[in-house]
Amino acid sequence: MSFLPTSPKETPGNPDFVLVTGDAYVDHPSFGAAIIGRLLESRGYSVGVIAAPDYRDAGSFGVFGRPRLAFLVTSGQIDSMVSNFTVARRPRARDVYAAGGVYGGRPDRALIVYCNKIRELYRDAAIIAGGLEASLRRLAHYDYWDNRVRRSVLLDSSADLIVYGMGERAMLESAEALDSGISIGDINFVKGTVYRTRDVSHIPEKKRVLLPDYTSARKDKTKYLESFAAQYKNTDYLTAKTLIEPYGTLFAVQNPPQPPLTEAELDDVYALPYQRAYHPAYEARGGVPAIEEVKFSITSARGCFGACNFCALSFHQGRRVASRSHESIIKEAEAFTREADFKGYIHDVGGPTANFRRPACRKQEKYGVCAGKRCLFPRPCENLEATHGDYLALLRRLREIPGVKKVFIRSGIRYDYLMADGDGAFLRELAEHHVSGQLKVAPEHVSPAVLERMGKPAISVFNEFKAEYDSASRAAGKEQYLVPYFMSSHPGSGLKEAVELACWLREAGFRPEQVQDFYPTPGTLSTCMYYTGMDLEGKAVYSAATKGEKALQRALMQYFLPQNYELAREALIKAGRQDLIGYGEKCLLRPRQGERPPETAAKPAAGAAKRKKKTIRSLHKSKKNRRTI
């Protein structure tokens, strides 16, 4: 078995589907385009791949001619605007999903550009959009880069259909409908899709939710909040209703999500004949950097019930966890040992959250996830079944495979879930076998006000975990460290909270090498709070919106860097915390050369201090006398 065809010379006639992706072609199950292409191929369809086309030339989209059934279009693994720009809206220096890591080959809003270029060539061709960019922009959404609410990407792209979420089942059902002769314009019945229509009378009243019309959502932030809240509450396949978004006389209609794949279905997806490498055509340009971290990594599960507010997984993969069988994963790991460049190290066994291998509770399987309740926030739910037994058994089996030296966990763990598990076996074996010197975890902040807006546990939970992790590492005879990730400028964080975080970092002895600034991307509750200034209940939420304040909060997280001195000093003064500039143990900054510490300069002379105290006592006495009278 070879790579999927990338030129007409490799396939007879026009293929059934032409798959257009903004990434370089990597035939690996960590890449959505590869999964969809291989899945369709396994069902007897022919697929041609156009990877990273020249978006300036419409002809580059016609190398295979018009496909028999449809064009399948994705901007790539991540949103093209996130791929192209930093949170400061500066162009990135590198694109790890491009050949040689060279930036600049992917257009802004790639999904829109690609679909419209196809329309230039083939006016009536069927176009199905998918991938993360399509999924998170499937209805009206706030766009950070334009700083406004944009309409559904289905309309701007001129695509006929959006497949959202993890789209295997929706894509197969759509393919079968097209192959049976149903027109793309008549495919309005597939779950996990969004379509356009002028008539919604076929949707029963009890099974639909009418969202605010786009014009209202664009002009009125309370209407946008109402729209987002309805989308947020309708992400579970067991309880979700059909969402209808009006655009004048036109409607964008989101069908309820598809159920997660079963264990057997997931096993089949990951057993497809991937080459597990980038296409040989990229060899001369240095390959594709994104393969490096995932080539010898294993996806164990999908979905995440952690539901952090700044994460879009609830919208894309859903909160219900589905996992692969041990046998499927063992087979994949055994295949690693037969590859020439495998050195014995499995880099990761995980998913969105490594230690989630099962639904949070049994109720989810019957009633769906709770719409107004979290599994782990503000504390673990009483129905949560926190156990690592299955995951631990899997890791033990992987360690026993001949040729495997180490099995690492790098995709991150939820330490609050781990702490909710009364059995300490997983933590002991994690420290002994599965950490490569450093374990990455994400407390994200320390301020209770900010953690509440993030949907993250209290910092005390992290402190407890750190103590137990350090103890387990010592017991294993290893010197290992935690690498905690923190975020600046998240909604709810002002300078006061940023100073609180900086002081905690100093006291804990952490000096972050990298700083993550909150990035408002489509599909997250945090982005909605950032734009509207409100939470889902309509309560006011402060957000640092200017570049200046964002820079101040970032600098405070790395106050110890010389290049951050002026910004960190400015932040402390603006926050009224000049007491943290000085020579005391708790100070963050030293005064500049020749400058007295601000708190020293502000101290009154001894005589003045005595006079001030006397005046205050007199004032108190006077007030007391007035109250007595």
Q: Is 614 part of any domain?
A: no
Residues 170 and 300 in one domain: no
**pLDDT for the residue numbered 593:** 79
Residues 113-155 have pLDDT tens digits of: 999 999 999 999 999 999 999 999 999 999 999 999 999 999 9
Query: What band does 602 get if pLDDT is binned at 50, 70 and 90?
Result: very low
Cα–Cα dist 247/311, whole Å: 28
**pLDDT for the residue numbered 600:** 46
Other beta carbons less than 10 A from residue 421's beta carbon:
18
Residues 32-52 have pLDDT tens digits of: 999 999 999 999 999 999 999
Residue 450 has pLDDT above 50, yes or no: yes
Other beta carbons less than 10 A from residue 507's beta carbon:
10
Residue 604 has pLDDT above 60, yes or no: no
**pLDDT for the residue numbered 609:** 46
**pLDDT for the residue numbered 218:** 98
Residue 611 has pLDDT above 90, yes or no: no
Residues 472 and 596 in one domain: yes
Q: Which residue has the tokens 């290893």?
A: 478
How much is the average pLDDT of 51-72?
A: 96
Residues 365 and 498 in one domain: no
Residues 424 and 521 in one domain: no
Query: What band does 598 get if pLDDT is binned at 50, 70 and 90?
Result: low
- Which range of residues forms the domain containing residue 191? 8-195+249-254
Residues 233-258 have pLDDT tens digits of: 999 999 999 999 999 999 999 999 99
How much is the average pLDDT of 310-335?
A: 95
Q: Is 265 part of any domain?
A: no
- Residue with the larger pLDDT of the pair 629 and 155: 155
Q: Judge contact between 381 and 420, C-beta under 8 A.
A: no
To the nearest whole number, what is the mean pLDDT of the chain?
93
Residues 432 and 446 in one domain: no
Q: Judge contact between 11 and 68, C-beta under 8 A.
A: no
State how many domains the chain has.
3
Q: What is the CATH number of the domain that holds 418?
A: 3.30.750.210
Per DSSP, helices labelled H in 25-148 are 32-42, 80-84, 110-121, 132-136
Determine the angle formed by the axes of helices 221-232 and 525-532, rounding to 10 degrees.
170
How much is the average pLDDT of 364-390?
A: 93
With b for 16 or more beta-carbon neighbours within 10 A and e for fewer, the 557-586 pattern comes to bbbeeeebeebbbbbbeebebbebbbeeee
Query: What band does 599 get if pLDDT is binned at 50, 70 and 90?
Result: low
Q: Judge contact between 247 and 227, C-beta under 8 A.
A: no
Q: What is the amino acid identity at position 331?
A: K
Residues 353 and 425 in one domain: yes
Query: What band does 412 get if pLDDT is binned at 50, 70 and 90?
Result: confident
Residues 322 and 466 in one domain: no
Best CA proximity match to 456, nearest among 424, 426, 493, 509 = 493
Residue 607 has pLDDT above 70, yes or no: no
Residues 495-511 have pLDDT tens digits of: 999 999 999 999 999 99
Residues 206-231 have pLDDT tens digits of: 999 999 999 999 999 999 999 999 99
Query: What band does 460 get if pLDDT is binned at 50, 70 and 90?
Result: very high
Determine the angle formed by the axes of helices 389-399 and 326-336, rounding to 10 degrees.
30
Residue 621 has pLDDT above 50, yes or no: no
Residues 88 and 169 in one domain: yes
- Model confidence, pTM: 0.92
